[in-house]
Amino acid sequence: MRVPTKSIAPVVVAAVVAAFPLQAAAEGPGLLVGESRLHLGLAVEGGYDNNVTFSSPAVADAVLHIKPMLKMDVPSEKVAFNLALTGDVTRYLSVSEDTSSYSTVQGTASTSAVFNPKGRFNFSLRDDFTRSSEPRYDIAGTFARTHNSAGAAFDFRPGGGALSVGLGYSFVFDFFDEGTGLSGGDSYSHQPSFDVRWKFFPKTSFVLSASGDLKRYPNTQETLGVTYQNTDMNAIRATVGLVGLVTPKLSVTLRAGYGNTMAVESASGDFASAIGMAELGYDMTLQTRFSLGYSRDFQPALLFGYVGVDKFYASARQGLFGRLSLQLNGAVALQAYGTPAVGQNLPAGNRNDVVITVGAGADYEILSWLSVGVADNYQKLSTSFTGAGVAAKYDKNVIGGYVKVMY
């Protein structure tokens, strides 16, 4: 088996270009079932991917996605409930070479229940499930995994609601399919959170947030006859900031704080640094919006322990005739990794990546329940890292369109 030089750390921000992320949110009236409203839908997406396997040199092919969808909302002053299901039958059409083995079935499911949603004190439960399978050149088969996040939260809004205090907990797990050879990446984590929001103006709030991520990797990993253990961590984040409107047209998000991976073992070192974000949004008109921002954070990364990400991003949206929406977005992410796990047959030096993403799209709402669109999304990863002589860099461009019905 080839050394998984890229697939080991794909949990980084902006590591994947989604095929068609610019879909319009068209949604019809739905079907009334008692007090519930049920929405049924289907999206068909087709396009051309010039780099199916994130490789260099690239493997290109046409791809088709068929996505059945279901959404249910149950409004209530006692218990508000919602459910959303999306399937994704993905077929690679083997236009230029045989890629049929990458065809798969994916999907997401999310559900939540909020008790006493309009009261001063409410309690909520939620669960988010994702089944994904992505072709990778550097592992056997596909990068197939199952992800689930289940949690509960309390929210208290005393007085007139200007102040809110929240306390939450999530249990998260990631399991990779046996055929990927990445059982060492299986993980589970406990994620407590706490936040305070004070609305001192009608549309402007002071926010304090703190969270933890107690992440554990129960299995060892074996590659090229070498066994290693991914780095457990007890990560913490804490930020304070300001969110809201500065003027009727200018919005701002400012957060600053501290993050630390607090690795159980220091083989990969620790990310211990400032984190935060700064974003400006400008609504020139009701149909025209621009945003510009910067964020700094960290994420767990297999083999390397963590990756710190400095991201610069911008977007623009223009609405026309009440039905057509044009979007343009771009980002540059600077990614700095920890030291590779001890004993792995890889360079011991630092890994630094630059990820550039650019996306453009147009969505047209024909009816409230019918929309069409086109999108072009490009991503380029440059890196200082090579493992066992295999370069991890790649260029990827996905262009295509969709038709979506959501009644």
CA distance 213 to 236: 6
Q: Please check whether residue 235 lies inside any domain of the structure.
A: yes
What pTM was estimated for this model as a whole?
A: 0.87
**Mean pLDDT within 13-33:** 59
CA distance 271 to 338: 8
Q: Please check whether residue 37 lies inside any domain of the structure.
A: yes
- At 7 the pLDDT is 36
Q: Which of 375, 377, 294 is nearest to 332 (CA)?
A: 294
Q: Please check whether residue 18 lies inside any domain of the structure.
A: no
- At 347 the pLDDT is 55
**Mean pLDDT within 356-385:** 94
**Mean pLDDT within 364-385:** 93
* Residue 94 structure tokens: 């083997």
User: Which band of pLDDT confidence, cut at 50, 70 and 90, is reported for residue 160?
Assistant: confident
pLDDT one-digit tens code per residue, 45-102? 999 999 888 877 788 899 999 999 999 999 998 999 999 999 999 999 988 778 888 8
Kindly report the CATH number assigned to the domain that includes residue 298: 2.40.160
pLDDT one-digit tens code per residue, 121-131? 999 999 999 99
On whether the CB atoms of residues 269 and 305 are closer than 8 A, the answer is: yes
Res 342 pLDDT > 60: no
Residues 6+ positions from 146 with CB-CB distance below 8 Å: 129, 130, 131, 174, 175
- At 264 the pLDDT is 78
Res 134 pLDDT > 90: no
User: Which band of pLDDT confidence, cut at 50, 70 and 90, is reported for residue 13?
Assistant: very low
Q: Please check whether residue 14 lies inside any domain of the structure.
A: no
User: Which band of pLDDT confidence, cut at 50, 70 and 90, is reported for residue 11?
Assistant: very low
Least confident of 16-30, 246-260, 320-334, 337-351: 16-30
pLDDT one-digit tens code per residue, 265-280? 766 578 999 999 999 9
Res 14 pLDDT > 50: no
Q: Please check whether residue 66 lies inside any domain of the structure.
A: yes
On whether the CB atoms of residues 219 and 184 are closer than 8 A, the answer is: yes
- At 194 the pLDDT is 98
- 106 or 99, which is more confident: 106
Q: Please check whether residue 13 lies inside any domain of the structure.
A: no
- At 17 the pLDDT is 37
Res 168 pLDDT > 70: yes
- At 18 the pLDDT is 43
Q: Please check whether residue 304 lies inside any domain of the structure.
A: yes
How many domains is the chain built from? 1
CA distance 240 to 222: 42
Q: Which of 341, 360, 359 is nearest to 351 (CA)?
A: 341
Output phi, psi for 184, to 5 deg.
Answer: -70, -15
Res 392 pLDDT > 90: no
Percent of the chain at pLDDT > 90 equals 63
Output phi, psi for 179, to 5 deg.
Answer: -70, -15
CA distance 359 to 25: 18
Taken as a whole, the chain contains a residue count of: 407
**Mean pLDDT within 204-232:** 87
CA distance 305 to 233: 8
Res 1 pLDDT > 70: no
- At 19 the pLDDT is 47
Q: Please check whether residue 323 lies inside any domain of the structure.
A: yes
Output phi, psi for 268, to 5 deg.
Answer: -100, 5
The whole domain housing 245 covers: 31-406
pLDDT one-digit tens code per residue, 221-257? 776 667 778 889 999 999 999 999 989 999 999 999 9
